[in-house]
Amino acid sequence: MAVSRHPNLLTLADLTVPQIQRLLNNAHVLKTTSTPWLFPHGALPAKRSKKLRLPSQSLFNKSIAMLFSKRSTRTRVAAETSATILGGRALFLGREDIQLGVNESVRDSARVIGGMCQGIFARVGDHSELAELAEHSPVPVVNALSSLWHPTQILADLMTLHEHTEEFGVPPPPDSLPQRGQRGPPPNKYQIRNQLQKKAKVPTYELPALRPLTIAYVGDSANVLHDMLVTFPRFGHSMRVATPADKKYRAPDAVWDRVVELECDKHIKWVTDPKDAVKGADVVITDTWISMGQEDEAAQRYKDFAGYQVTEELCRLGGANPDWKFMHCLPRKQSEVDDEVFYGPRSLVFPEADNRKWTIASVFDIIIGKQDLDGNRWQKEMIDGQNRLVPQTRTLPQVVQEEVQSPGEVESPDNTNTSESDSESDSDSDVEDKKTN
């Protein structure tokens, strides 16, 4: 099996928890260092202090090809603005500009576009197109959306939950609470701004910790839910998923196999009644009932999802926690959630949408710009006539190590005793050699 010399992001199931956490923390740093209220006059100071922390410019003089065969609002705007923040440029190629696998094979398109750009951000139909694109691309490929997965959306969801620590954060120990005569609560954002303007320094603290949450998902099993299933349980959260009884509304085998592989299925409960799903829920999430390409099924889908609209009454009857919050990846239809919830104080929809920008910027920075998911030190090497970044101490993945081992190095259960006896005989022979010497 060939070892990829660059990271890709096709689904969060391919990443470890520390790698996902690194993407989230980096998104928080980018958001902090790029927030306009740090400089209320709308521009950076003319004379920059050496201590001033500016946004990463890892995409300086680099281009990202955005291959979008499906319509997009938030993902496209977030990607183009993210590339600009990082000093790069995004090239948008829509359905009219390029058709993967139609006028040109996916393999050829991957090699041609990858030779001209430093990264590919692809929003495709079938996930197999994305997998083939990543297999043959000489540069990193990031999934902007496919039929099975939507990783950048779940990164934004996690970041939004981390930011609302007043509802979901880990409570401080009693000894850490301010007592009389001690320093009071932490400074607000305006006090922080004044401190930063004085010190010309931006903090790089990590996102606040989350307590284990009960997350309810009510709606269709689509790409957004699929990446939730392989991510939320690994961060300690339990999920209850409510979908219609028809099997087509359940996760496909390709997705569920990854869920079981990561042992996330132990923290997921599948039901058909939305009231059972929202019982004790801290967060209620829904998604569109009719995805792109399913317009012909609209009438049947509206019939199947009768009673699945997220409302205050549904969550009250189901027994959701009093302070439950609502999330939706957008675009939203009123049949999915009513205006009272969507525009009310429980809604985290618009902060969630805003964080699409910062999480995509983090992905571009780490995966395409730095090509480093683990925080390794990298060095340039000449590969195929081009300068590429490779880690200074590279270790092969476990699967590759097993493949390159010689047959004699691999122990089988049947030969365990044989190997032990061999080792004993070797040790005896060593002792005899020492005696003779």
Q: Are strands 238-242 and 325-328 parallel, antiparallel or unpaired?
A: unpaired
Query: Distance (Å, rounded) from C-alpha 400 to C-alpha 335?
Result: 49
In a domain, 204, yes or no: no
138-151 average pLDDT score:
97
pLDDT, residue 411, reads: 44
Is 230 among the domain residues? Answer: yes
Considering the domain architecture, whether residues 343 and 360 belong to the same structural domain is answered as: no
Residue 242 shares a structural domain with residue 320:
yes
So what's the pLDDT on residue 107? 93
Flag whether 410 is in a domain: no
Token digits of residue 26? 């980096």
CA-to-CA dists, residue 304 to 74, 299, 318, angstroms: 28, 9, 20
pLDDT confidence band for 188 (50 / 70 / 90): low
For residue 170, is it left (φ>0), alpha (ψ between -120 and 50) or beta? beta
Q: For position 413, what pLDDT does the model report?
A: 42
More confident residue, 381 or 199: 381
The SS3 of residue 372 is coil
In this prediction, residue 327 has a pLDDT band, given cuts at 50, 70 and 90, of: very high
Residue-number span of the structural domain to which 240 is assigned:
214-347
3-state SS class at 141: strand
Query: Which of 49-58, 193-202, 227-236, 251-260 shows the lowest mean pLDDT across its residues?
Result: 193-202
Q: Which of 185-194, 340-349, 374-383 is predicted most confidently? A: 340-349
pLDDT value at residue 385: 61
pLDDT (0 to 100) of residue 103: 77
Least confident of 310-319, 390-399, 420-429: 390-399
Q: How confident is the prediction for the chain on average, in pLDDT?
A: 81
Q: What is the pLDDT of residue 168?
A: 74
**Is the residue at 429 inside a domain?**
no
Span 164-188, average pLDDT: 57
Give residues with Cβ within 8 angstroms of 127, minimum separation 6.
10, 146, 147, 148, 149, 254
Of the residues 300, 325, 347, the one at which a domain ends: 347
Is residue 362 a part of any domain in this protein?
yes
Phi and psi, residue 127, nearest 5°: -65, -25
| pLDDT band of 209, cuts 50, 70, 90 | confident
Q: In the block, which residue shows the tokens 């000489």?
A: 138
Cα pseudo-dihedral 386, 392, 393, 394, rounded to 10: -20
Write down the catalytic residue from 117, 264, 315, 329. Answer: 329
Residues 358-377 have a mean pLDDT of 90
Residue 220 has pLDDT above 80, yes or no: yes
Q: Residue type at 285?
A: I
Query: Could you tell me the pLDDT band of residue 147, with boundaries at 50, 70 and 90?
Result: very high
Three-state DSSP at 245 gives coil
Residue 303 located in a structural domain: yes
Of the listed ranges 28-32, 272-276, 316-320, 348-352, the least confidently predicted one is 28-32
The residue whose two tokens read 């607000």 is 188
Residue 172 within a domain: no
Q: Are 247 and 314 part of one and the same domain?
A: yes
Q: What is the DSSP string of 56-116?
A: --TTTT-EEEEEESS--SHHHHHHHHHHHHTT-EEEEE-TTT--BTTTB-HHHHHHHHHHH
Task: In whole angstroms, give the CA distance from residue 59 to residue 63.
Answer: 7
418 or 287, higher pLDDT: 287
Single-letter amino acid, residue 59: L
> What is the amino acid identity at position 170?
V
Considering the domain architecture, whether residues 324 and 373 belong to the same structural domain is answered as no
How many structural domains comprise the chain? 2
How many other CB atoms are there within 10 angstroms of residue 6's CB atom?
Answer: 20
Percent of residues, the chain, with pLDDT higher than 70: 70
Q: Look up 329 and say whether it is catalytic.
A: yes
pLDDT at residue 166 greater than cutoff 60:
yes
Residue 431 reports pLDDT greater than 50: no
- Is the pLDDT assigned to residue 330 strictly greater than 90? yes
DSSP string, 393-421: S----HHHHHHHS-GGGS--GGGHHHHHH
The whole-number average pLDDT for the span 308-324 is: 97
Q: Decide if pLDDT at 117 tops 90.
A: yes
Residue 406: burial class (beta carbons within 10 Å; 0-12, 13-18, 19+): exposed
Q: What is the DSSP letter of 369?
A: I
Shared-domain flag, residues 341 and 375: no
- Same-domain status, 341 and 372: no
Would you state the pLDDT for residue 337?
A: 98
Task: Specify whether 140 is located in the same domain as 254.
Answer: no
